[in-house]
A and B are shown apart, each in its own frame.
Chain A
Amino acid sequence: MYPAAFEYHAPASVADALKLLGKLDDAKILAGGHSLIPMMKLRLAQPKHLIDLRKVAGLTGIKEDKGMIAIGAMTTHWEVESSKVLKSKCPVVSETAAMIGDPAVRNKGTIGGSLAHGDPAADMPATVIALGAEFVCQGKKKRTVKVDDWFKGIMETALGEDELLVEIRVPALAKGTGAAYLKFPHPASRFAVVGVAAVVTLDKEGKCTKAGVGVTGAGTHAVRAKGVEAALSGKKLDAAAIEAAAAKAADGVDVQADLQGSEEYKAHLCRVFAKRAIEAAVKRAHA
């Protein structure tokens, strides 16, 4: 398989990468290459230039920073999956990474690549929505984008053409908070046919004081399930309350029928996986 010809660049700094991005016509950033190269092999993408970030210093690693956990954009799915910091402060991010593709995909693919790419069936988008993550982008200026402003359409995000995604920030889970991500994987690719992440905070009486729910796979891009969140907030989360909230999981999702299933089927999966993810999150919040 030979992709169309291109020129290859491997700058050593963010500044040099941005310079190339501004100067070159039809250039694409290359991170782990595990979304871009498959598309190039099928000639669905034929960029004239690739700017590889592998030599750029300072884009990898996971560290705590003011109650948040900062994850460098070039951190691989495996590094996220096996991170001690994430496993203790926000395990749902590690668990989500561990569900991406297969071990070899996770050794190359990066969290920044997944979130910059915005595949409608990617896993991490659901989890970062439920958590209320932030995206640090570097162009001429540095700016931080809230997750609710990030996903715009099929493979379309708030990232500017002349910007790099440099860091993803997720909150450390507060006391009394539980989180879970569950998906129905496509049997061949392992992408999410539907995936739901839920984050709930309970007070001493077991009442829900805060809820975040993200849905991926079903629509053109991952979305926040606002109806579910509203139905969870302020309630004691018993089986009936969870069931009633999860019933709203497909509301406001522009569910797309495709080879994997009809609209009704995928909407049904949203409700089923919302229920399971909320149940798992509540159990963890109690623990």
Chain B
Amino acid sequence: MKHSVKMTINGQTQSHEVEPRLLLVHYIRETVGLTGTHVGCDTSQCGACTILINGQAVKSCTVFAVQADGAKITTIEGLAKNGDLHPIQQGFWEKHGLQCGFCTPGMILAAYQMLERYPKPSEEQIRHQLDGNLCRCTGYHNIVKAIQWASEHMAGAK
């Protein structure tokens, strides 16, 4: 039996009829058409699918769309405002925090949660908080620098 779901994604209301087994990541990519959220594994380990559900970083490949009924969701497409990159996105740009870019949307949303919880993270803390996000290209060094850059530039902004 299909269920109707209604949620806000990047400020826009979305409502659809979905099968219970539809994973949230596929709902976002295929039903809603926002393909910035990626799928990088079968085992809930890579973090490429990380989004914010009600402000919390979550692996959208490990949630059913029906579980997100009523939720407020932010994906990578929702971070830039009026064409201005979010400071975390800008940090990845400034510090060359990506190569192929596959892991980047998940990295950025994981970083978003991290900086909310720990606005001035140490390098060790950054690395530890990225436990759930795998990158096959950068070796993480520039990702850490990008998040440090964002942390410095967000301090004044809030």
Q: Which A residues contact B (CB, under 8 angstroms)?
A: 1-8, 10, 30, 33-34, 37-38, 40-42, 50, 52, 54, 78, 101-105, 107-108, 188-190
Contact = CB atoms under 8 A, between A and B. Distances in A.
A259 to B, nearest CB: 14
A30 B67 CA distance: 10
28 contacts: A1-B61, A2-B21, A2-B23, A5-B20, A6-B20, A6-B21, A7-B1, A7-B20, A8-B20, A10-B66, A33-B62, A38-B62, A40-B21, A41-B23, A41-B44, A52-B66, A78-B56, A102-B131, A102-B133, A103-B110, A103-B113, A103-B131, A103-B132, A104-B110, A104-B132, A107-B58, A108-B59, A108-B63
A1 B129 contact: no
A37 B133 CA distance: 19
Contact of A33 (B22, B42, B67): B67
B132 A108 contact: no
Contacts of A190: 131
Contacts of B62: 33-34, 37-38, 41, 108
Nearest to A52: B67
Nearest to B3: A8
B42 A41 contact: yes
Contacts of A104: 47, 50, 57-59, 110, 132
A189 B131 CA distance: 10
Given A4-B21, A105-B59, 13 more contacts: A6-B20, A10-B66, A30-B67, A41-B61, A41-B62, A42-B43, A101-B132, A102-B132, A103-B131, A104-B47, A104-B110, A105-B132, A189-B43
Interface of B: 1, 3, 19-23, 39, 42-45, 47, 50, 56-59, 61-64, 66-67, 110, 113-114, 129, 131-133
A209 B61 CA distance: 48
Contacts of B64: 8, 33, 37
Of A6, A33, A105, A190, chain B has the most CB atoms within 10 Å of the CB of A105
Nearest to A2: B21
B135 to A, nearest CB: 14
Contacts of A40: 21
Given A54-B67, A103-B110, A188 B21 contact: no
A118 to B, nearest CB: 19
A2 B42 CA distance: 10
